[in-house]
Amino acid sequence: MPIILGGALAPRTADLGMDVFLAEAEALPPLPQSCVDLVGLLAGETPAPASALVLLESDPRLVRATLWAVPPEMALTGLTDAWHQLGCDAVLAFALRGSLLEHLRAWEPPGDQELWRHGVATAGAARALARAAGVAAPLLAYAAGALYRTGEALVEHVARQGIRGRRRRLQTGAELPWVDREALGAALLERWGLPRVVVAAVGRRGDPMAPPLARLVSRATLCARAAGFGTENADLTPLDFIPPPLDEGARAAVAEVNVCEAVLARPA
C-alpha cells in the first residue's frame, strides 16, 4: 500500500523510476542550448576566441546574461565593448556565471535560496581548485560544480509538486532516499547535451576512481559545506592531489556567493 505522509499519498518505489523523473523535468526550464554549447566549447580546454564570440552573439539571452553578470562600474556599452576591454576569458566567465545563475534560480523551489547558493559556492570552489591543481580547465570546473545538484533539484521538484496526473506530494526530497540523485542528474545533463566530462563529474562524484574533474567537484562540495552552504552528509573522500587546504576552497565559495548576490541585486 502507499505510505501516508502528512495526509498525502507518497509514491511507492515501483511508481517512480528514472524515466518518470526525467519526464517531470519537462515541466522545468531546461538549460538553454546556448549555455550547453558554451560549456561544450569550454570542454575543448582552449576555445578559439572567434568561435566563442560567435556563440555568445548567437543568442540574445546569453548576451543579456553576460552583461547582467558584468559589474556596472565597468560601464560597458555592450558585448563587443566587453570583448575588447576585458578579453575572451573574462567575458566567457561572465557569460557562464550569468547563464548558470539564471538556470539555478529558475529551478529553485519558491522561497528557498539553498540550491543556488550551494550551486555557486561549489562552482566557485571548483574553479579555485582547478586553477591550483591544474587538473581541469577552471571554467569547465565552474560549470560542473554549478550543475552537480541537478538531480537533487529535480527530486525536490517532484517531491513538492507531485507527479503530473497523480495527486501525490511529499514535503521534501528527503522522503525519497532511494533515488540516486547523481545518476539522475547525469542522465538529465546527458539528455541536454552537456559534454561527457561534465556528465561524468556529476554522475561519479565521490567515486575515488572517477576522472579528475569528478573528484575535484567532490572536493569542491566539501569546501562549499565548510563555508556554510549545503547540508549534505555524504562521506566524500578528500583528494590528495588537490593542493589547497579546505579553507582556501571555502573562501572561494564564499566569494562566489557574494558576487552572485550582487548580480541578483541588479535588474535582469
Residue 143 · residue 198 · CB < 8 Å: yes
Task: Give the integer Cα–Cα distance in Å for 118 and 43.
Answer: 23
Residue 241 has pLDDT above 60, yes or no: no
Fold for the domain defined by 18-264: Hypothetical protein af1432 (1.10.3210)
Domain limits, the chain: 18-264
pLDDT band, very low/low/confident/very high, at 11 (cuts 50, 70, 90):
very low
Provide mean pLDDT across the span 191-209: 83
pTM: 0.84
The Cα–Cα gap between 3 and 17 comes to: 17
Bigger pLDDT: 174 or 219?
219
Half-sphere exposure of 164 (CA within 13 A, CB side): 9
Does residue 14 register a pLDDT over 50? Answer: no
Average pLDDT over the chain, rounded to an integer: 79
Handedness of CA 114, 101, 131, 70 (dihedral sign): negative
- The three cell numbers locating residue 55: 556563440
Radius of gyration of the chain (CA): 19
pLDDT band at 238; cut points 50, 70, 90: very low
Rounded Cα distance, 151 and 246, in Å: 25
Predicted local distance difference test score (pLDDT) of residue 59 = 92
Q: What is the mean pLDDT of residues 44-58?
A: 77
For residue 99, the model assigns a pLDDT of 94
For 65-70, what is the mean pLDDT? 93
What is the pLDDT at residue 257?
Answer: 92
Compute the average pLDDT of residues 238-244. Answer: 47
Enter the C-alpha cell of residue 204: 561519479
C-alpha cell, 7:
495526509
pLDDT in tens, 110-155: 777 888 899 999 999 999 999 888 878 899 999 999 998 888 888 8
Split at pLDDT 50, 70, 90, the class of 5 is very low
Judge whether 201 and 185 are in contact, CB under 8 Å.
no
Q: What whole-number distance in Å separates Cα of residue 63 and Cα of residue 95?
A: 7
- Please name the residue that has the C-alpha cell 527530486: 155
- Give the pLDDT score at 13: 40
